[in-house]
């Protein structure tokens, strides 16, 4: 493949945009040097770059595009709404309809809904509500989960805390996933000071028996607000999210990504007792919860309801899991065939797979991750992870397995000869690092 136009545009983008992209996970440092730099079009699970190269894609908009790029019913619903205007001086009637539809789809008809534009904002709003409701300052997050918000309360805990005061960083604590004792230890160390626990329900590791139930019991016992981040798991594990799968409901839950199939929408869903602190029916001090000019623009909510229609009428979740299982089996078979099963493996729920790459010493390796990405791209597959969409067909899965087979043939040689002889350019780097 040729990337002349991408290579021409890269320095121009870096001169105008810090990092060359508006999202760190899409930056040049996250992909091999031989990679498409800019996408111009998508259809289903296929994308085309500025050089005209076509790929099967698995990043799917950082897991946001669950149905497929330019999915016709969603695009049509948004386009139809645009003809009637998208932002007024009073709430659009569609705001009520969309909120009722969402809580009905989630099976949470007694809860309240607040829409916003991204997962960071709704999760930070949940933290703010928890602090206001409890009168406490400390926030406890699951340290094994990668991302909750761009706001200071979370970014201060990462490897990239520049610009965040130490006083703010000290207000967020960490506990371990599936380690109830670590939660109990935090509560004992800071009695009566923790406002909330924040975590995803599940990532690559399922919750151990009793872990989520134990969290729920600890929060109830100590007056702590339980917040579940279902930005990824909502509408991917199940229409009602991972909390429904595991039978434990948080006080506040955040949703996004798949909710809009790429349109910018997220939602905070929670108990009226907490949510009304940001409303007009409370006797307590009010919370400035979520209030943005574009927080509930009408075309986005029309797209959201079209997404809900598809989920209600078609077997989206079943398809995601079936195709993911098929791909995982194919990747593992290819790894066995090339003798690299100890060095390349698949993890996570079938609808949301990641892969792990190790070097000849069995250590996780960014250089070998880059090599794998590079060789997949050469074979027409963009796969920072193996995230399924409703548009991934059997033919797409077969094409991907064939690409994986070819990539692993190179991987096996690199294990023997050294990765330097096969990798073009520098390895990818973690997003959260303090220096370039």
pLDDT tens column, 224-243: 999 999 999 999 999 999 99
Rounded to an integer, the average pLDDT of 399-405 is: 98
Q: Residue 357 and residue 375: Cα distance in Å, rounded?
A: 13
Confidence of residue 7 (pLDDT cuts 50, 70, 90): very high
The pLDDT score that the predictor gives to residue 69 is 98
Confidence of residue 298 (pLDDT cuts 50, 70, 90): very high
pLDDT tens column, 194-227: 999 999 999 999 999 999 999 999 999 999 999 9
The pLDDT score that the predictor gives to residue 365 is 98
Q: Residue 254 and residue 108: Cα distance in Å, rounded?
A: 13
Rounded to an integer, the average pLDDT of 36-63 is: 97
Tokens of 68: 């497929």
The pLDDT score that the predictor gives to residue 294 is 93
Q: Which top CATH class is 87-296? A: alpha beta
The pLDDT score that the predictor gives to residue 22 is 96
Q: If one looks up domain 4-70+315-421 in CATH, what number appears?
A: 3.90.1150.10
Question: Which is nearest to 98 in space by CA: 311, 256, 263, 300?
Answer: 300
pLDDT tens column, 136-172: 999 999 999 999 999 999 999 999 999 999 999 999 9
* Through-space distance between the first and last CA atoms of the chain, rounded to whole angstroms: 28
Rounded to an integer, the average pLDDT of 80-100 is: 97
Q: Hey, where are the domains in the chain?
A: 4-70+315-421, 87-296
Confidence of residue 410 (pLDDT cuts 50, 70, 90): very high
The pLDDT score that the predictor gives to residue 304 is 98
At residue 238, φ and ψ (nearest 5 deg) are -165, 155
The pLDDT score that the predictor gives to residue 154 is 98
pTM for this entry:
0.97
Same fold, 4-70+315-421 and 87-296: no
Q: Residue 401 and residue 406: Cα distance in Å, rounded?
A: 9
The pLDDT score that the predictor gives to residue 252 is 98
Q: Residue 20 and residue 13: Cα distance in Å, rounded?
A: 5
CA 107 to chain CA centroid, Å, is: 22
Q: Residue 126 and residue 111: Cα distance in Å, rounded?
A: 14
Confidence of residue 268 (pLDDT cuts 50, 70, 90): very high
The pLDDT score that the predictor gives to residue 370 is 98
pLDDT tens column, 10-25: 999 999 999 999 999 9
């Amino acid at each position: 493949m040729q990337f002349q136009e991408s290579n021409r545009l890269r320095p121009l983008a870096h001169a105008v945009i810090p990092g060359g992209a508006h999202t760190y996970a899409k930056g040049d440092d996250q992909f091999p040097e031989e990679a498409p730099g800019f996408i111009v079009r998508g259809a289903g699970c296929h994308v085309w770059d500025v050089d005209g190269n076509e790929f099967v894609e698995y990043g799917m908009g950082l897991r946001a595009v669950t149905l497929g790029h330019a999915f016709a019913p969603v695009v049509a619903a948004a386009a139809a709404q645009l003809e009637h205007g998208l932002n007024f001086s009073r709430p659009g009637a569609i705001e009520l309809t969309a909120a009722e539809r969402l809580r009905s789809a989630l099976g949470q008809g007694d809860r309240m809904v607040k829409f916003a534009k991204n997962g960071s904002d709704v999760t930070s709003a949940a933290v703010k509500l928890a602090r206001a409701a409890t009168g406490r300052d400390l926030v406890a997050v699951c340290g094994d989960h990668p991302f909750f918000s761009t706001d200071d309360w979370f970014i201060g805990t990462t490897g990239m805390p520049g610009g965040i005061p130490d006083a703010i960083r000290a207000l967020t604590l960490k506990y371990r996933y599936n380690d109830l004792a670590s939660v109990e230890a935090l509560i004992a160390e800071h009695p009566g000071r923790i406002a909330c626990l924040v975590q995803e329900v599940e990532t690559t590791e399922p919750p151990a028996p009793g872990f989520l139930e134990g969290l729920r019991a600890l929060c109830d016992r100590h007056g702590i607000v339980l917040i579940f981040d279902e930005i990824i798991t909502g509408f991917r594990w199940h229409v009602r999210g991972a909390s429904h799968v595991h039978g434990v409901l948080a006080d506040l839950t955040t949703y996004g990504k798949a909710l809009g199939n790429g349109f910018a929408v997220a939602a905070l869903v929670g108990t009226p007792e907490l949510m009304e602190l940001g409303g007009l029916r409370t006797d307590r001090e009010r919370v400035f919860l979520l209030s943005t000019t574009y927080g509930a623009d009408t075309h986005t909510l029309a797209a959201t309801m079209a997404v809900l229609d598809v989920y209600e009428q078609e077997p989206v979740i079943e398809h995601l899991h079936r195709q993911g299982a098929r791909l995982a089996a194919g990747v593992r078979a290819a790894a066995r065939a090339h003798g690299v099963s100890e060095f390349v493996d698949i993890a996570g729920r079938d609808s949301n797979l990641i892969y792990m790459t190790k070097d000849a010493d069995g250590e996780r390796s960014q250089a070998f991750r880059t090599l794998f990405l590079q060789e997949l791209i050469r074979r027409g597959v963009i796969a920072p992870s193996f995230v399924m969409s409703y548009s991934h067909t059997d033919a797409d899965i077969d094409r991907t397995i064939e690409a994986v087979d070819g990539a692993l043939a190179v991987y096996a040689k690199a294990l023997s000869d050294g990765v330097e002889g096969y990798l073009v350019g520098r390895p990818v780097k973690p997003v959260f690092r303090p220096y370039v």
